[in-house]
Structure 1
């Protein structure tokens, strides 16, 4: 890669596969970096990420960690630590921490009880200009939960815990210093309150730390915020009784923090996903409050604006509500209800992406924050598991990755007006991310004509779009309802499907049924079976019903009259299901409709707070599957 491309400051992203990794230059020319040497195809690449500031790119091999230059592709540093499963980078990219596979200490013997393991977490200082590294500290952590040491924004202090009740803070003075990690600079001891479930150091010039202590054995849960280096008393705190886990999100300035607290079980039995509460705290201690959300249901997403002056929340049962709040927790705008669970601000906070991924269809709305949240465009990126803005705020990356989905793994790049500009498919894709670059590397986005013109798509996007099925202009792109094979040749094959009301009318009409297109009156007439498909017992029952009807209609008992001539007209197989016998598809529909009615009854009990057994709750959760099966059999509508 030539230096001229770097001076143009174009966006760049990586794609990691199980046994390979590649760097790709984005617009205007989508191509792999020519000087980057991909790993050998036999080597597993478990981790890959850009080092902060985009100075270098790091990926792991079974033999160690490689750090390469993002412009020349040249290997800068090789760190010989084997079997690294996870990595983390400090804010300025001067420190790398790794978590390696647990290995028994050979010096202790294979039969030692309890087993003795080698230290598997390493804090490493890397010096890219001099192409050197130094392992500053190593310690043992048997799980991949809570092992990551955290650094202050200026990387002068590192923090981690050696026991679940306290946090240790250590001074980092430089690569040449011999560190003594046995003597922390200061320690935050919270044993009197309980075990520390999670903690998060703030960004910004004035470092703070937020900790979460879950409630146990009748004790309340706590959120406490400390301003470093004062760890004696919190500057802000919140106490509550419902809280088992917590997710912290600081704003970019490190002045306020959102705490999303959740429980696994909803005590009101209204939600399968438990309960969620959102709290807002600041480092000044002026306010700490719960964010009141008017709609019931889980909180799907919380995110801060890059300006640190507002945040957004998606909450409630689907379709969910998206609401924007100022930095003091006051509501400033809400979007209409929609199936959405993802919200992302562009790096310059001009545009906002609101989307529904995961088990939702993948609909994406782009809003203009500087124009009263007006919608710029809507498009769809189905099966998306990764979605990120480019560092210049002009492109959106969406990807389908494994193991979230093991089919159709791919990367798509969209221009912010919804135009697809790049596509690449993979047999298996594990991770993908943009290279970080500051906004100052790119011209600002204005409302000029140039920004409204579609970006020139890459040939890969053109080829991909040409392979997609075309919409039928005659019917507006709508696909007709599915019809079972036995009904496709009937006169009613152009129908749009049967509703639940139609099928109910058939069932109550003397237990007989008719295929679509047949007049309802014909379905109530007893017709002899010329093809001989009616069983003897069915014929006998039919004659009994006819005789009884004649006796009721006549005031004087008389011999049974012969059947009217009209009844002797032969019936075709397409026009009538004879003798009240349903087809296989109709039997399935009838049984599925019974299930739906049972589910509705259980849902009514659940709404009335009546106790339900576990099997009944599981039955309610099968409603979507039952409705999908009904649709596949040609049923449409609601009861």
Structure 2
């Protein structure tokens, strides 16, 4: 059977499976049915081996055909870690007391030589965090952190870890990261403590390590994520704190620094938006990197290896950025608490957008090794529902779907990049698997349903509770017109409207159906009220008599002309201006149409309304 190069694996509680991706999408046979839960499973970095755990031991498979390479009798394995070339498998068990009665803990880390079929090294690591050793890319040296020093051992001569090949002593060192490449170096991080700044340093690995080749000190760094480029020539250090000292961010503070291996440059990356840094990633070419940062909608920008800005995408709700293996395409997406929109850009075509699709509830997103497919998956315990695997073509077309009751992890099989020719462009969309066709038919796009709903300005529930409230004036122009007309009918602003109550006087709320008690009027209030009524009646009689004397009998009384906001003297004038604006827009579209420029369907329909607009203008008395 010809095995596809773009193979992936999935792990459910009692199930481990390997799937050959396009074009077959078939299960790799030969994997035995499991009786216990799988706690951990992973490929080796070069894709040569696949290992998974069972309570009784660890099994190593050949992913080509599912055949068993080795079975290790190690009770209750808890975690696994492969060396860069897959020659060594590191296994961590829960620490337990030794059986010799000394009260000491037994060695719980086993480094297994896969090719020799034997345990090479054993040592004790009581804490699961940071237990795995780091190997150089050629697997000749491994490094391990012991309190305030990093110890280096020669892999071929370390039957135990009693004698170190080299030692790097650093007070309060919290973490380190080995670089890839033929000349490996090591980066160390010391957090900020008692007023002393944090420090990131780069060291050459040798028998005697004395001075760092590059170093950077800074504040506001309780933790630091160290990311090397693929050549091991530059390092990104993402420093973060749990609490924002300025009290502006719930997520704390994040800062990004760039260091060169030779010490020729070290600088802070200046970002033009405030807010957290959501994601950083190096391009496989090692010449540039991408950063997603800022409050939502976030900014996605790309910098060269010296930290100079190359390009920025428009702000959007995104928090993930990934380069394809050939560095031709860039994936920018918003997962987690965002909607799951995925955008694909072509780096070689000045960041032109290639496709966009929605993958909601995604917890795993990866490029395939050939750079043509994208894996998205919903896994447990991140989400307990809709656990599934989806494979998309880079053009945004769904080509495979597989649903699970529960799936814990999903990964592509790593493969060397030289197995796949460089991408010049996407081929025609491959034929989708039947599972993708069934999924699309049973899950119509919700975006069409949303777009069909009428859109308008938001109104609170109390304003849309009944039909009477919806008929109330909504625009500022309508409200001002209504207010002016009511003022004219009341005789100007000389008196307050009927029922007016000064601020601070509020009618208490009563139960439904309860009649409010009649307010008792005091003697002084009744006396003042009678005076006001008599005075108003006399004033009204005088105004009526004066108007009768001044106005000729033959002249009919006319209603006062309403004063409208903005200086417009009538509603007709305002409507004429609006129609003329539409007519000018139609004339511009007709010019584009005459010049054979492409028009959208809505623009063509707008041109067809010219006759209706001119007819309305004629009714309002407008002439050219």
Q: TM-score, normalised by structure 1?
A: 0.73
1:55 and 2:61 correspond? no
CA distance in 1, matches of 2:531, 2:387: 70
Corresponding residue for 1:554?
533
Residues 91-114 of structure 1, C-alpha deviation per residue, up to 9 Å, x if partnerless? 1000111111222323327xx5xx
Kindly indicate whether the alpha-carbon contact (under 8 Å) linking 2:197 and 2:217 is maintained by their aligned counterparts in 1. yes
- The answer as to 2:352 corresponding to 1:374 is yes
Task: Report the Cα offset of residue 13 of structure 1.
Answer: 0.5
From 509, 513, 527, the counterpart of 1:534: 513
Aligned to 1:320: 298
The Cα shift of 1:152 comes to: 0.2
Question: Aligned partners of 1:475, 1:533: CA distance in 2, in Å?
Answer: 38
Change (3 A) 1:550 1:214: same
Tell me, in whole angstroms, the C-alpha distance in 2 between the residues paired with 1:199 and 1:356: 30
SS in structure 1 opposite 2:440?
helix
Larger of the two Rg values belongs to structure: 2
Go from structure 1 to structure 2 and tell me whether the alpha carbon gap of 1:321 and 1:487 turns closer, same or farther (over 3 Å shift). Answer: closer
Alignment of 1:74 onto 2:63: no
The verdict on how the C-alpha distance between 1:103 and 1:179 changes in structure 2, with shifts beyond 3 A counting, is: closer
Q: Tell me how far 1:25 sits from its aligned partner.
A: 1.0
CA distance in 2, matches of 1:47, 1:474: 41
Match of 2:149 in 1: 166
2:533 and 2:353 map into 1 onto residues whose CA distance is 73
Verify: 1:478 aligned to 2:474, yes or no.
Answer: no
CA displacement at 1:34 relative to structure 2:
2.4
Is 2:124 aligned against 1:140? yes
Deviation sequence 1:546-588 (CA, Å, 0-9, x none): x999879733799xxxxxxxxxxxxxxxxxxxxxxxxxxxxxx
Secondary structure in structure 2 of the residue aligned to 1:108: coil
TM-superposed deviation, 1:297? 1.3
Q: Which of 219, 222, 228 in structure 1 is aligned with 2:199?
A: 222
Work out the CA distance in 2 between the residues paired with 1:497 and 1:557.
32
Match of 2:442 in 1: 467
Which residue does 1:590 correspond to in 2? none
1:203 aligns with 2:191: no
SS of 1:338's partner is: coil
For 2:94 and 2:180, locate their aligned partners in 1 and report how far apart those are by CA, in whole Å: 30
- Structure of higher RCO (CA pairs closer than 8 Å, 6+ residues apart): 1
Q: Deviations over 1:33-71 (max 9, x none)?
A: 12333422xx11011111222112111111111001112
Kept in 2, the 8 Å contact 1:347–1:393? The answer is yes
Distance in 1 (CA, whole Å) between partners of 2:267 and 2:231 is: 19
Distance 1:295 1:106, change over 3 A: same
Corresponding position: 1:455 with 2:430: yes
Bigger Cα displacement from structure 2, 362-371 vs 549-558: 549-558
Task: Give the match for residue 159 of structure 2.
Answer: 179
CA contact (8 A) 1:47 1:86 kept: yes
Which residue is equivalent to 1:358?
336
Q: 1:499 to 1:304 in 2, by over 3 A?
A: farther
Q: 1:470 to 1:244 in 2, by over 3 A?
A: closer
1:420 is displaced (CA, Å) by 0.8
Instruction: Please state if 1:64 is matched with 2:52.
Output: no
1:596 is matched with none
In 2: Cα distance, 1:56 partner to 1:166 partner: 32
| Native 8 Å contact 1:471 1:477 kept in 2 | no
CA distance in 1, matches of 2:271, 2:465: 54
Q: Indicate how the Cα distance of structure 1 residues 217 and 331 shifts in structure 2: closer, same or farther if over 3 A, else same.
A: same
**Residue 406 in 1 paired to residue 384 in 2?**
yes
**Aligned pairs (5 A) from 1:114-129:** 116-127=104-115
User: How does the TM-score come out when normalised to structure 2?
Assistant: 0.75
Aligned to 2:82: 89
User: What displacement does 1:488 show?
Assistant: 10
Q: 1:56 to 1:543 in 2, by over 3 A?
A: farther
Q: 1:480 to 1:555 in 2, by over 3 A?
A: same
Is 2:55 the counterpart of 1:32? Answer: no
1:140-289 alignment runs, 5 A limit: 140-162=124-146, 164-173=147-156, 179-190=159-170, 194-229=171-206, 231-289=209-267
**In 1, Cα distance between equivalents of 2:194 and 2:428:** 61
Call closer, same or farther: CA 1:107–1:499 in 2, change over 3 Å: farther
Say if 1:159 and 1:168, in contact at 8 Å, map to a contact too. yes
Contact 1:423 1:460 in 2 (8 A): yes
Is the 8 Å Cα contact of residues 121 and 158 (structure 2) preserved in structure 1?
Answer: no
- Report Cα offsets for 1:452-478 as digits up to 9, x if no partner: 422211111111111114559698433
Paired position in structure 1 for 2:369: 391
CA contact (8 A) 2:95 2:105 kept: yes
Q: Which residue does the alignment assign to 1:620?
A: none
Return the alpha-carbon distance in structure 2 between the equivalents of residues 405 and 309 of structure 1. 36
Q: Given the superposition, is the C-alpha separation of residues 232 and 473 from structure 1 closer, same or farther in structure 2, using an over 3 Å criterion? A: closer
1:12 aligns with 2:36: no
**1:551–1:557 CA contact under 8 A, matched in 2:** no
| Whole-angstrom distance in 2 between the partners of 1:441 and 1:342 | 27
- 1:430: how far off? 1.0
SS at match of 2:439: helix
SS of 1:123's equivalent in the other structure is: strand
Distance 1:181 1:498, change over 3 A: farther
* Offset of residue 390 of structure 1: 0.3
The unaligned stretches of length 5 or more in structure 2 are 481-497, 501-510, 538-624
1:464 partner SS:
helix
User: Do 1:79 and 1:133's aligned partners in 2 also have CA atoms closer than 8 Å?
Assistant: no
- 1:489 is displaced (CA, Å) by 10
| 2:5 and 2:415 in contact (8 A); partners too | no
Q: Distance in 1 between matches of 2:355 and 2:112?
A: 45
Q: Partner of 2:398 in structure 1?
A: 420
Measure the CA separation in 2 of the matches of 1:86 and 1:473.
Answer: 45
Deviation at 1:298, TM superposition (A): 1.1
| Structure-2 change in CA distance of 1:534 and 1:324 (3 Å) | same
SS in 2 for 1:97: strand
- Determine helix, strand or coil for the equivalent of 1:453: coil
Corresponding residue pairs, total: 508
- CA separation of 1:84/1:479 partners in 2, compared to 1, >3 Å: closer, same or farther? farther
Partners of 1:22 and 1:38 within 8 A in 2: no
How far apart are the structure 1 equivalents of 2:320 and 2:445? 29
Residues of 2 paired with 1:469 and 1:543: CA distance? 67
8 Å contact kept, 1:169–1:187: yes
Consecutive unaligned residues of structure 1, counting only runs of 5 or more, are 506-522, 526-531, 559-639
